[in-house]
Amino acid sequence: MRIAMLGLGSMNGAILSGFLASGVSADDVVATSRSAASARARAAEHGVTVLAEEDDAEANRRAAAEADVVFLGVKPHGIVALCTEIRDALRPEAVVVSVAAAVDLQMMQDALRAGQPVIRSMPNTPLSVGLGVVGLVPGAHVTADQTDRVKGLLGACGAVHVIDEAQIDALTGISGSGPAYAFHLAEHMAAAGVELGLDPALAADLAARTVQGAGTMLVENHISGAADAAALRRAVCSPNGTTERAIGQLDSHGVPEAVVAAVKASADRAAEMTAQLREQV
């Protein structure tokens, strides 16, 4: 299966790392980038061909022309223009997969040739280490085989959920943006350790491994049904102990409400961006 990755930034780069680690051959991937310098850097980093030409539309068309699956990894406001650019170069059976927030299936289908299969996705960057989460919304022209093919590719680097388009903003608020919430938490746990006198490298290591360990426990217990997040939290809290005091601080500082507000803000922003993009097309 030939894969094109148009726009090799943070998200498509994370997906590509996941693909290569899961056994996709670098020979089966062609990517594009905006500048020759970034193309060289990305080609060296991933060991795949990265095209960048004077005219980036030409690089995108060349990469798309041979592909069975084409990942669109540019910013949301560039997706429709990219679809228009590659429209006539795509093979009719090639599946276009957008990773962009806010750009709905209709906008992409309208910019591509009638009948071109399109899948809207919302991935997250932990796909790079095989622990991602992806929401997939297959468009009207996508066959079950084509969905399975894309699910197979992404499923080798994370959990894939096929969802309705109406659910994608909520999913974005949890799993698309969510890695940043965990990184934010780790950042401030480590900063507090430094304030308490720890070496910065030690504090960062403690925070990173704690988030990793808690995440792994959470997933294992979630899959087995043994315990949910609240039960695992309670198991760390000894009565009148250190953690109970710490959680009391999180609660009194409004962290539960802040997390709910953060997830909703991400989802609301996605919807707002969709409305803005619809006005532009």
Ligand X SMILES: NC(=O)C1=CN([C@@H]2O[C@H](COP(=O)(O)OP(=O)(O)OC[C@H]3O[C@@H](n4cnc5c(N)ncnc54)[C@H](O)[C@@H]3O)[C@@H](O)[C@H]2O)C=CC1
Ligand Y SMILES: O=C(O)[C@@H]1CCC=N1
Residues that bind ligand X (CB under 6 A): 6-11, 32-34, 56, 60, 73-76, 78, 82, 99-101, 122-125, 176
How far apart are CB 12 and ligand Y at their closest, in Å? 12
Q: Assess 160 for contact with ligand Y (CB under 6 A).
A: no
**Position 91, amino acid:** R
In the list ligand X, ligand Y, none, the entry touching 126 (Cβ below 5 to 8 angstroms by class) is none
| DSSP SS3 for 244 | helix
| DSSP SS3 for 279 | helix
In the list ligand Y, ligand X, none, the entry touching 75 (Cβ below 5 to 8 angstroms by class) is ligand X
How far apart are CB 158 and ligand Y at their closest, in Å? 14
Neighbours of 30 (CB within 10 A): 22
> Which of 82, 86, 81 has its CA nearest to residue 66?
86
How far apart are CB 172 and ligand Y at their closest, in Å? 5
Q: Assess 274 for contact with ligand Y (CB under 6 A).
A: no
Binding mask 68-107 for ligand Y (x = CB under 6 A): ---------------------------------x------
Neighbours of 257 (CB within 10 A): 10
Q: Assess 177 for contact with ligand Y (CB under 6 A).
A: yes
Whole-angstrom CA distances from 223 to 138, 217, 227, 229, 231 are 26, 10, 9, 12, 14
H-helix segments, the chain: 10-21, 36-46, 56-65, 76-86, 105-111, 144-155, 168-171, 178-195, 200-224, 229-236, 242-252, 255-280
In the list ligand X, ligand Y, none, the entry touching 20 (Cβ below 5 to 8 angstroms by class) is none
Q: Which stretch binds ligand Y (CB under 6 A): 86-94, 147-155, 171-179, 217-225?
A: 171-179
How far apart are CB 214 and ligand Y at their closest, in Å? 21
Q: Which is nearer to ligand X, 124 or 203 (CB)?
A: 124
How far apart are CB 99 and ligand Y at their closest, in Å? 9
Q: Decide if 14 contacts 8 (C-beta within 8 A).
A: no
Cα 250 to Cα 197: distance, rounded to the nearest angstrom? 22
Give residues in contact with ligand Y (CB under 6 A): 101, 172, 176-177
